[in-house]
Amino acid sequence: MKKIDYLKRNIENKDITILGAGISGKGAAVLANYLGANVLLSNNKKIDNLNTLNKNIEIEYSHSNKCLKSDLVIISPGINPHKNKIIEEIEKLNIPIISEIEFGYWFTKSPIIAVTGSNGKSTVVKLLYEIFKNEFKDAMLGGNIGISFSENVYNELINKNKTIIHILELSSFQLQKTIKFKPNLSCILNITKDHIKRHGSFKNYFNDKLKIIQNSRKDSYITYNGDDLKLKGYFSSNKNALPFSIKNKMQDFTINDKRIFYTKTKKLIINQDDTNLIGNHNLSNLLASIQIAKIFNIDNKTIEDSLLTFKPLKHRMEKLEIKSDKIFINDSKGTNLVATHSAIDSFDKNIILIIGGYSDDNIIDDDIEKLIKRKNIHSIICYGQIGNKLFKIAKKTKKTYYKKLFSDAILYAIKHSFNDSIVLLSPGYKSFDQFKNFEERGDKFKEIVNQYYA
């Protein structure tokens, strides 16, 4: 810890290696170079978009022994710190290893709102950004969404801006190597089984998520989802943590038929039906955002105006604008079964559910059976690497079809849809069997549907 404190105060001319040249790595490199460090950006393969970086930043396309001559190593979230040979060598030499989030934190004095969770964090930070940018001129959105925290801190420093508020979406990967990171407000939306191969166990995943609050004190806020039983149990004895809930009575907020009231004044803040957000999970996201805004004393009118104009994120419960008597929902970002569960619960009936994709975890029959037993599901179309496994489980309970190719599954769903039916793409699994990412998968879904109805 003393070495960390020393490096924070004396970063100039120190030798810093950054492992990984993605968004986080490049942001850390730019900030470290600006601060006067000697920067080595080390990536394990050649990429083409690094020619815009400062010439003082040394770049290599394999993790060489140069990494072992560092005063500090910053690790990108895409690199597993538990299964990497160069990291093993670095640890043997007792060279400090930190995350890009930790590094950015060292050099900002601005307030930070940090949000994590297995599902919903992108929606919540975007909601917060829409609210806060109307109240604070210099709100900055970053982390696991769009731009790295370190790059935002770099922009803060070069502009000498002292009125910044940082809003961060944080993944468990980004939190793994945080040490002193201390947000002014930490929000935990939910923690459900995810990324087990990376973390080794759910317990490890849970603990890495909770690193967001590891340095919280009385001068910092914690908000959490009181409807998540694991979080409720964890925080049951923590009087400083503020729960939000759409199921249970709260001190500051009252919910009546999708309408959220501020208890102190009994005034309506927002009616979910007036927004563009669908489903109970989004009611919870709205409530989390409102609670945080009220902690920062933002008035109800600013909150309401921001929420009414908010557009859902692409690929997250995105309703397609087509001329049809059927409804098409793109929830390609639903890459785990909890997200798919929430998507299904957003509609009353007649769902044609498209699930499948890629998984390297074991498929548990009971998890699938619990998901599909709902009466609002009319039929199921399975696709992809795990599609046949899902088909064999689901066909015992529901009218189920299997199409290996994603495009065939979508066309089959369109042709078998009917008046007032809802074609819901909420795959429940990763996209890596047929696509680079969930965005590409969602774009393909929209392309097929739009071409069909053109």
Q: Please give the span between the terminal C-alpha atoms of the chain, in angstroms, as a whole number.
A: 61
* Same structural domain, 206 and 304: yes
Give me the pLDDT at residue 332, please. Answer: 97
Give me the pLDDT at residue 201, please. Answer: 87
CATH number for the domain that contains residue 200: 3.40.1190.10
Tell how far CA 256 is from the center of its chain.
28
Q: Of 68, 95, 122, which residue sits at a domain end?
A: 95
- Cα 262 to Cα 266: distance, rounded to the nearest angstrom: 5
- Cα 368 to Cα 371: distance, rounded to the nearest angstrom: 5
* Same structural domain, 133 and 178: yes
Give me the pLDDT at residue 415, please. Answer: 95
CATH number for the domain that contains residue 350: 3.90.190.20
* Same structural domain, 260 and 387: no
DSSP of 81-125: TTS-HHHHHHHHTT--EEEHHHHHHHT--S-EEEEE-SSSHHHHH
Residue 313 lies in a domain: no
Q: What is the pTM of this model?
A: 0.86
From 281, 292, 21, 14, select the one nearest 135 (Cα to Cα): 292
Give me the pLDDT at residue 80, please. Answer: 86
- Cα 185 to Cα 163: distance, rounded to the nearest angstrom: 17
* Same structural domain, 374 and 398: yes
- Cα 256 to Cα 268: distance, rounded to the nearest angstrom: 10
- Pair 167, 129: CB distance under 8 Å: yes
From 326, 279, 282, 348, select the one nearest 423 (Cα to Cα): 326
Residue 57's domain spans which residues?
12-95
Residue 247 lies in a domain: yes
- Cα 278 to Cα 331: distance, rounded to the nearest angstrom: 12
Residue 333 lies in a domain: yes
Tens-digit pLDDT profile for residues 302-333: 999 999 999 888 998 999 999 999 999 999 99
* Same structural domain, 431 and 385: yes
Residue 1 lies in a domain: no
Beta-carbon count within 10 A of 397 CB: 14
* Same structural domain, 288 and 353: no
Give me the pLDDT at residue 446, please. Answer: 97
Of the CA atoms within 13 Å of residue 365, those in its CB half-sphere come to 5
- Pair 124, 187: CB distance under 8 Å: yes
Give me the pLDDT at residue 82, please. Answer: 80
- Cα 98 to Cα 11: distance, rounded to the nearest angstrom: 14
Placement of tokens 């004895």 in the chain: 237
- Cα 106 to Cα 409: distance, rounded to the nearest angstrom: 48
- Cα 155 to Cα 174: distance, rounded to the nearest angstrom: 20
Placement of tokens 């990494």 in the chain: 67
Residue 3 lies in a domain: no
Tens-digit pLDDT profile for residues 342-390: 899 989 889 999 999 999 888 899 999 999 999 999 999 999 999 999 9
* Same structural domain, 149 and 263: yes
User: Which stretches of the chain score pLDDT less than 70?
Assistant: none
- Our count of domains for the chain comes to 3
Locate 175 and state its tokens: 């939190």
